[in-house]
């Protein structure tokens, strides 16, 4: 039986805007939070005497973290090296350069030949000798279009067609690895990816086909005894047998993770069964206080009341409140700052309700038979703030309308793939 600790999505060095520089150390307090949380993960690996540590990818927010951040990360994993606990560091999307191969920030460990540290930056099988015997780990780093295909191969293809092509390649390459597995030794798949059934924070299913998602059928297979995933920050177990597990991120990276439990996973794996235990970490709270005082006679008192009710002590807080223009002069900003003073950090976002709803244009409501394009034209003519984009917007609308009238259109095929991928990446960055 191999006992392992599985953690993922450390993102060390992110979220500095949620902290401040600690005058005693010169470090951002959020970096200190991330370091202390990672320290507790490694403490547990040592106290449990695990045989193996698996890291599911996304060590840092990007491929070129500053030295102080790299050092803090290395210092913790060095403790595993000293304890002779083998460790597999998988490369996630945040660890890759946007152009090119491999995980720049993690491959240094292989370059240095750190004993017991394996860097998973390609799809391959590693035989790892642990104190409890050998184990096989297939590493599957984040896949991206630009490293998998040359430009001519994908020219003129839609994004979903490219994803299909990627999946075909992955399926074939993974089959090659699976065929070479030794059934007498426990097998683990360690992968940084989005599955087709994973859920993001707000219980929202990510629509299939929106990005590159890997079907569960490719992962939840008897040839694997444990499937260790990274990428999604919300902890979830997608399959019980074999366990297919996202441990989630170890710290809250942003407000989208406000409601999520953070932690890591301890697992015991043999060739015929595996047990999984989620170990929650007590990490700094994020707290959104959202209140609409726009119709209140006593907006200031209501704001202060909402803040006094919320658990904001030592938390990263954002106060979002709606008010009407006539209330502006009744808000005591000094008192709000005072009420927020015992938060770890905070931001205040007032929203004027009159700005939220614009009056309807009479020209648009009077004539219901207007065609969409001229309706847009009228709308844009009334929006000086959009003047710079109006020509582009009208052109884009024309393309969309043509597209809608013509199911298989040339326009869809000539959509620049690079732009589509860039959009996709942006979207994922926002989510993660
Ligand atoms: Mn990721």
Tens-place pLDDT, residues 256-307: 999 999 999 999 999 988 999 999 999 999 999 999 999 999 999 999 999 9
Q: b/e string for 298-317 if b means 16 or more Cβ within 10 A? A: ebbeebbebbeebebeebbb
Q: Report, as an integer, the average pLDDT of 10-23.
A: 96
Q: In percent, how much of the chain has pLDDT > 90?
A: 65
Q: Could you read off the pLDDT of 68-127 as tens digits, one per residue?
A: 999 999 999 999 999 999 999 999 888 887 655 555 788 888 878 889 999 999 999 999
Q: Residues lining ligand 1 (ion), CB within 5 A?
A: 58, 92-93, 231
432 CA distance to ligand 1 middle (Å): 7
Residue ranges and CATH numbers for the domains of the chain are: 2-281 (3.60.21.10), 286-356 (no CATH), 364-431 (no CATH)
205 CA distance to ligand 1 middle (Å): 17
268 CA distance to ligand 1 middle (Å): 25
SS3 220: coil
Q: Could you read off the pLDDT of 375-421 as tens digits, one per residue?
A: 888 888 878 778 888 888 888 887 787 766 554 433 333 334 444 44
Mean pLDDT, all residues of the chain:
87
- Write out the two tokens for 222: 């008897």
106 CA distance to ligand 1 middle (Å): 14
What's this model's pTM, rounded to 2 decimal places?
A: 0.80
CB atoms < 10 A from the CB of 126, how many? Answer: 16
49 Cβ neighbours under 8 A, 6+ residues apart: 3, 131
d(CA 127, CA 152): 36
- Lowest mean pLDDT: which of 246-255, 315-324, 404-413? 404-413
Does pLDDT of 232 surpass 90? yes
């Amino acid at each position: 039986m191999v006992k392992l600790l599985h953690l993922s999505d450390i993102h060390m060095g992110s979220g500095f805007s949620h902290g401040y520089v600690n005058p005693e150390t010169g470090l951002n307090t959020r970096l200190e939070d991330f370091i202390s949380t990672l320290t507790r993960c490694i403490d547990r690996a040592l106290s449990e005497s695990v045989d193996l540590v698996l890291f599911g990818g996304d060590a840092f927010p990007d491929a070129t973290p500053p030295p102080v951040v790299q050092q803090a990360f290395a210092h913790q994993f060095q403790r595993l090296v000293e304890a002779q606990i083998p460790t597999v560091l998988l490369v996630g999307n945040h660890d890759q350069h946007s152009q090119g191969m491999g995980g720049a920030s993690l491959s240094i460990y292989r370059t240095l030949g750190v004993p017991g540290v394996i860097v998973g930056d390609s799809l391959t099988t590693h035989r790892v000798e642990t104190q409890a015997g050998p184990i096989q780990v297939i590493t599957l780093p984040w896949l991206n279009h630009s490293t998998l295909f040359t430009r001519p191969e994908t020219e003129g293809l839609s994004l979903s067609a490219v994803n299909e092509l990627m999946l075909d390649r992955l399926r074939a390459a993974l089959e090659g690895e699976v065929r070479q597995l030794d059934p007498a030794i426990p097998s683990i798949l360690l992968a940084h990816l989005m599955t087709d059934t994973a859920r993001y924070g707000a219980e929202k299913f990510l629509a299939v086909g929106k990005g590159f998602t890997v079907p569960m059928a490719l992962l939840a297979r008897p040839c694997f005894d444990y499937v260790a995933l990274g990428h999604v920050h919300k902890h979830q177990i997608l399959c019980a047998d074999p366990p297919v597990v996202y441990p989630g991120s170890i710290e809250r990276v942003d407000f989208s993770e406000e409601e999520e439990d953070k932690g890591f996973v301890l697992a015991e794996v043999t060739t015929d069964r595996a047990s999984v235990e989620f170990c929650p970490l007590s990490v700094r709270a994020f707290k959104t206080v959202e209140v609409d005082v726009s119709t209140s006679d006593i907006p200031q008192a209501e704001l202060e009341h909402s803040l006094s009710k919320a658990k904001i002590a030592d938390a990263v807080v954002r106060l979002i409140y709606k008010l009407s223009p006539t209330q502006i002069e009744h808000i005591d900003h000094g008192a709000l700052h005072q009420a927020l003073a015992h938060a770890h950090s905070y931001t205040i976002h007032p929203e004027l309700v009159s700005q939220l709803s614009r009056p309807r244009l009479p020209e648009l409501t009077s004539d219901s038979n207007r065609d969409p394009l001229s309706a847009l034209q009228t709308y844009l003519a009334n929006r000086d703030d959009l003047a710079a984009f109006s020509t582009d917007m009208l052109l884009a609308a024309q393309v969309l309308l043509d597209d809608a009238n013509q199911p298989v259109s040339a326009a869809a095929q000539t959509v620049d793939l690079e732009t589509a991928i860039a959009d996709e990446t942006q979207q994922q960055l926002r989510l993660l």
